[in-house]
Structure 1
Amino acid sequence: MAGITSSFAPTGKQIALTFDACGGPGNNGIDQALIDLLIAEHVPATLFLNKRWVDADPVRVRLLAANPLFELANHGVAHKPLSVTGRTAYRIAGTASPMEAAEEMWANHERLTELAGHPPRFFRPGTAHYDDIAVTIVNELGATPLGFTINADFGATASATQVRHAMNTAQPGDITLAHMHRPNSGTATGMTSAIPALRANGLTFIHVPP
């Protein structure tokens, strides 16, 4: 959809990794093995944090914000698809009006600004679904709507092998999506093998460019 950044123009063989923390019942954990891997391998990543996940443990959010490898981004308040008509995505009802769409973004924008000391550059709604009016709302509220080119772990349901295979398709300019709130998923193990393989193929990791 027009107005959503889903890839970027690389200056070399660069890709950008993003991870969502969706929050809510059963989803407020952290895949510490994944975070530790990114730190050990010096891999920058953009972390899309839902307000429920943020409020479950603000201390860990401050720690993530203090690490220059990680850029914090906005994953909404209640993990709703961003819509002005209530459109459903993946069986989750979306926001039902322009005001509700703005509220789904703005409260967490303010919360992340408070915790990180500066406003987040990017917003990605629950399920990464937007309609065209919602995209305009995000832009008007001062953030860039971000999508992705590679869905690496299918909402943290993929096996480690599936994660590795998805990541191994990455090409320069890709933005990958995976999840960081389910420590028992295959994401960390899959990334453990995928990151060295991507580097062996000459790819490097950067934050999503402006």
Structure 2
Amino acid sequence: MIVPVRRLAALCVLGAVVTGCGTGHTSAPDPSRPSGQASPSASAAARPPTLAPGPEGLAPVFKSARHAVGKTVALTFDADMTADQGPRAARGERFDNPALLATLRRLKVPATVFMTGRWAEEYPDQARSIGADPLFEVANHSYSHYAFTSHCYGLPTVAPDRMTADVERAFTAFKKVGIENAMPYFRFPGGCYDRTALRNVARAGVTAVQWDVVGGDAFATDADAVAEEVLRGVRPGSVVVLHCTRSAAPATERAIRKVVPELRKRGYRFVRVSELIGAAGSGTR
């Protein structure tokens, strides 16, 4: 969950910014394949674009493709559910948002859904449907939605020696519910990371994906304000972070109904994150 920028200073100090990440393309290891087992060349050729590892073996970080592509924008949605929120779901709290997915489909908007493994387990039919829909791609948002640094929006934290396993557990959960082609992209819960976190998630063979536009939909009820936040921030090559969590982001679907036609009117084309990474090349930052 990303808290709106207006509340950022009061809630969290992000981990240190890591610079110098690689920008060349490479193929990430298949998270479903046992360590050390070679992949067939045909499978390798079909893998989605990733970025080269950063210095000292750190996972690369992709934030936007500004100045590298035309008027394209990637809408991304975090499907958040923390590992310990099962009792709340059992009492009727909804961490999914079928109406949002239906609107994206109706408007024919490609999108990337960063899903926690726990969310996939709670909503297996929806997770499988998202994974099978050519409009969408599924990426990894951890299994537990616990933070990978301390002091991250009050989230519980993952111990450094469990970080790689948490990422891999999410990929395993995706496979179990029928998501066959999860992307090798990872979004840190809360967006919080440091060098230790980057070093550990690199072992899972992922490119870390952040954003350059915060939609501000977390806990927001004013759809117009969310839409305005997105429209104000978008530039060619932007990555927008929003949420696919009805109870904690109830205004998102209504905001999307305003954002999509307006951006199309401005000449933007919606793409998935994989397209931005693939097109950006040395222009990523």
Q: Same fold, TM exceeding 0.5?
A: yes
- Percent sequence identity is 26
| Cα 1:70–1:156 shift into 2, 3 Å | farther
Residue aligned with 1:39, SS: helix
Deviation at 1:46, TM superposition (A): 0.4
Deviation at 1:134, TM superposition (A): 1.1
Deviates more, 1:180-189 or 1:68-77: 180-189
Match of 1:62 among 125, 128, 133: 128
Structure 1 counterpart of 2:72: 14
* Residue 201 in structure 1 maps to residue 240 in structure 2: no
Q: Unaligned 5+ residue runs, structure 1?
A: none
Indicate conservation of the 8 Å contact 1:48/1:74, yes or no. Answer: yes
Indicate conservation of the 8 Å contact 1:21/1:28, yes or no. Answer: no
RMSD: 1.8
Residue aligned with 1:189, SS: helix
* Residue 102 in structure 1 maps to residue 164 in structure 2: yes
Deviation at 1:109, TM superposition (A): 1.7
Residue aligned with 1:71, SS: strand
| Cα 1:45–1:119 shift into 2, 3 Å | closer
Indicate conservation of the 8 Å contact 1:157/1:186, yes or no. Answer: yes
The one-character-per-residue Cα deviations of 1:173-205 (angstroms, maximum 9, x if unpaired) are 110011112167111111101110011011111
In structure 1, C-alpha distance between the alignment counterparts of 2:95 and 2:162, rounded to whole Å: 27
Residue aligned with 2:259, SS: helix
Deviation at 1:110, TM superposition (A): 2.1
Indicate conservation of the 8 Å contact 1:14/1:203, yes or no. Answer: yes
Q: Unaligned 5+ residue runs, structure 2?
A: 1-16, 20-59, 278-285
| Cα 1:132–1:187 shift into 2, 3 Å | same
| Cα 1:193–1:68 shift into 2, 3 Å | same
Residue aligned with 1:43, SS: coil
* Residue 187 in structure 1 maps to residue 279 in structure 2: no
Q: How many residue pairs end up in the alignment?
A: 206
The one-character-per-residue Cα deviations of 1:56-109 (angstroms, maximum 9, x if unpaired) are 1212111111100110011111111213xxx12011132222x22112211002
Deviation at 1:118, TM superposition (A): 2.8
Structure of greater Rg: 2
In structure 1, C-alpha distance between the alignment counterparts of 2:264 and 2:208, rounded to whole Å: 28
| Cα 1:156–1:18 shift into 2, 3 Å | farther
Structure 1 counterpart of 2:118: 52
Match of 2:140 among 74, 85, 95: 74
Match of 1:5 among 35, 58, 62: 62
